[in-house]
Amino acid sequence: MLWSNFKRIMIGEPLASAREKHERMAIPIALSIFASDALSSTAYGTQEILMSLNVEMLRTYPLLVSFLSIPVALFITLVLAVIIVSYRQVIKVYDNGGGSYQVAREHLGLTASHVAGAALLIDYVLTAAVSTSAAVDALTSAHWIPLSMKVPTALAFLGLITLINLRGVRDTGLVFSVPAYIFIGVMFTLIGKGAYMAFTGQVPLDFSHGLNQAIGVTPDVWASLWNTSLLLILIKAFSHGCSALTGIEAISNGVKAFKEPAAENANKTMILMGVILATIFLGLTALAFVFGLLPSDHETTVSQVGRAVFGDGSLFYNSLQIFTAIILVFAANTSFAGFPRLGSLLANDGYLPRQFMNMGDRLVFSNGIVFLGLVSAILVWLYQADTHGLIPMYAVGVFLSFTLAQAGMCVHHLKNKHKHWQNSLFVNAFGAVVTLAATIILTVEKFTEGAWIVCIGIPLIVWGFTSIKQHYLSVSRQLALPIEEGTYDPRPIEHTVLVLVSSLHRGTIPALEYARTLSAQVEAVHVTLNDVGTQNLQDQWQAWGCGVPLTILPSPFRSITGPLLDYIDEVEKRHEHNLVTIIIPEFVTKQFWHNVLHNQSALLIKTLLTLRKGKVVTTVRYYLEE
């Protein structure tokens, strides 16, 4: 009762299954939930590019670092556009959700679908961990919390998001939509004012004599840089900046969460998300250049741009930091929207435990939500909420799932050859090549930084999928009824009933009476642990034993389970019956904490007997009133 009341307070009253279609989301709500991860990636995408470019070779020309981030960001935006177009096609064909997993399963085979599913699950876990860690970075950049509180704060954020999602889709949407749109508004204000300052000459750089003079690089220097390792540096910056593309696939995995027409609404949301993401990402990167900003170990790039545009301590700067932190926390919600739905699909196909299929009281996949919250919290704790340490693992799984989705769509177009299929094939083929190249670059560049964990983790998860499926198939095969025609011929069941008796009390008598209704072969069994207690039992048995014979088992080493299990085996051999039924009398305390004052030998005996064939274990409970 106490737990039930607490649960109702925390997550609300249960919702009827018929309410499920009414809990689906319209585009404004869906954008705030499914796009929050992709939008929040702008908070660290530009920063990751700048940190990769800030190498010794380029430090002689500091402004070159921020300038080179622009072509890198433009290429990443091109990749973004290709992925958006590709996933719009995925949504049209697979409007029941599942995204990369569903596409790979139908067109690339089971192994590819397992790889896609594993990559997406890892991505969702990392999204939750990275987003909350990055949110804490925003707070430490503004000096609102000390560095020593990073991990507890990140864990608190994860706990809060888990709780909100357990309350259901409608409550989640109401909580997340307002801050998400405020964040977008503040970001657009930042970019708009920054662009105005740049065009009116209110920036440190002087472009009046040309770009090369502004950044201090001559044509000879450009040639020298290009002949050394500049291309490799740009490739590495691209790989790190691809973290800005995470979360795009979430909409394709959660199509069924949209109001009807679900596929059409999901595609509209995908376009809106892509436009907003590209605008913020390119705008921040450009402002970092025109204000001559370099990456800092103690302050995020968003905070630096905010200080330059709005002024330190201004209302808009504080709003920027607050809502950046909030949207980063809420970005984890994309995982909580996508992971449980993907988990339910995998469980429905038999590749994850069936508990992931179950909807909770509030019409959400509660088990998936809780599991994601726990695993993400473990990652945050292990990495001490270090965003830069978590990100190397982040994008590999994302781009692997991108590649499989687009390769699968290429096969789809070749099979079906629908109207304008050649154009769609070109887009998906180009996207598959680009994302495959990005996957390889990310894996190589980030392998020693942490990507090796993902490279090991994906095969392990795929092995887990296969093992779980084999178990379910084995269970189904063993439980299946015979195919041969015929009628059921019941066989008589004879069994001996053993009542385990530790002492005679009010809880023992009902168990003895119940045993006599089951079989003519009833026997009470007592294991001697204390000679005085055993003697008292024997003295009272004639009066209170209900006519059931009592067997005393000696226990030289004061063990209950050893002599008892040996005697049960002996009885089974002696009578050669089909079954042996063991009845355990048990009293139930009124207060749950009273249980710690009593030994739990009945629980141990039940657990051991469950593992032995041919035994039926029954508990007869007596409820105490005080």
Q: Is residue 484 part of a domain?
A: no
The amino acid at residue 591 is Q
Please give the residue that has the higher pLDDT: either 488 or 74.
Answer: 74
Whether pLDDT at 459 is above 90: yes
Asked if residue 507 and residue 467 are part of one domain, the reply reads: no
How many domains, in total, are found in the chain? Answer: 2
Asked if residue 535 and residue 448 are part of one domain, the reply reads: no
Measured CA distances, 90 to 255, 429, 453, 524, 556 (Å): 10, 14, 29, 67, 70
* Average pLDDT of the chain to the nearest whole number: 80
Q: Is residue 225 part of a domain?
A: yes
The string of pLDDT tens digits covering residues 425-455 is: 888 888 888 888 888 887 887 788 778 888 8
Whether pLDDT at 6 is above 60: no
Q: Collect all residues with Cβ–Cβ distance below 8 Å to 597 and sequence separation of at least 6.
A: none
Asked if residue 530 and residue 453 are part of one domain, the reply reads: no
Given this model, what pLDDT does residue 17 score?
Answer: 45
Given this model, what pLDDT does residue 85 score?
Answer: 86
pLDDT, mean of residues 319-332: 78
> What is the CA 160 to chain-centroid distance, rounded?
15
Asked if residue 502 and residue 467 are part of one domain, the reply reads: no
Given this model, what pLDDT does residue 16 score?
Answer: 45
Asked if residue 300 and residue 179 are part of one domain, the reply reads: yes
Q: Which residues span the domain enclosing 501?
A: 495-623
> What is the CA 133 to chain-centroid distance, rounded?
16
Q: pLDDT > 70: what percent of the chain?
A: 84
The string of pLDDT tens digits covering residues 543-601 is: 888 888 998 888 877 778 888 888 888 887 776 656 788 888 887 777 777 666 666 77
Q: Is residue 184 part of a domain?
A: yes
Is this prediction's pTM over 0.75?
Answer: no
CA dist 180 and 388 (Å) reads 24
Asked if residue 591 and residue 466 are part of one domain, the reply reads: no
CATH of the domain at 233: 1.20.1740.10
Count CB-CB contacts under 10 A for residue 192. Answer: 12
Q: Residue 25 burial by CB count (10 A; 0-12/13-18/19+): exposed, middle or buried?
A: buried
The string of pLDDT tens digits covering residues 168-203 is: 655 555 666 788 888 888 889 999 999 999 888 787
Q: Is residue 340 part of a domain?
A: yes
The amino acid at residue 317 is Y
Measured CA distances, 341 to 12, 90, 260, 516, 550 (Å): 21, 17, 18, 51, 56
Given this model, what pLDDT does residue 5 score?
Answer: 52
CA dist 545 and 524 (Å) reads 9
Asked if residue 346 and residue 232 are part of one domain, the reply reads: yes
Nearest to 502 by CA among 556, 433, 557, 553: 553
Asked if residue 466 and residue 522 are part of one domain, the reply reads: no
Task: Identify the band that residue 11 occupies on the pLDDT scale cut at 50, 70 and 90.
Answer: low
Q: Is residue 131 part of a domain?
A: yes
CA dist 347 and 356 (Å) reads 6
Asked if residue 500 and residue 394 are part of one domain, the reply reads: no
Given this model, what pLDDT does residue 578 score?
Answer: 67
Given this model, what pLDDT does residue 211 score?
Answer: 62
Task: Identify the band that residue 488 occupies on the pLDDT scale cut at 50, 70 and 90.
Answer: low
Q: Is residue 277 part of a domain?
A: yes
The one-character DSSP state at 578 is S
Task: Identify the band that residue 374 occupies on the pLDDT scale cut at 50, 70 and 90.
Answer: very high
CATH of the domain at 580: 3.40.50.620
- Cα Dmax for the chain: 112
pLDDT, mean of residues 353-379: 82
Q: Collect all residues with Cβ–Cβ distance below 8 Å to 609 and sequence separation of at least 6.
A: 565, 568, 582, 615, 617
Given this model, what pLDDT does residue 570 score?
Answer: 84
Given this model, what pLDDT does residue 118 score?
Answer: 92
Task: Identify the band that residue 3 occupies on the pLDDT scale cut at 50, 70 and 90.
Answer: very low
Q: Is residue 445 part of a domain?
A: yes
Half-sphere exposure of 223 (CA within 13 A, CB side): 3
The amino acid at residue 233 is I
Task: Identify the band that residue 542 occupies on the pLDDT scale cut at 50, 70 and 90.
Answer: confident
Asked if residue 503 and residue 450 are part of one domain, the reply reads: no
Q: Is residue 287 part of a domain?
A: yes
pLDDT, mean of residues 411-428: 84
Whether pLDDT at 291 is above 80: yes
Half-sphere exposure of 44 (CA within 13 A, CB side): 32
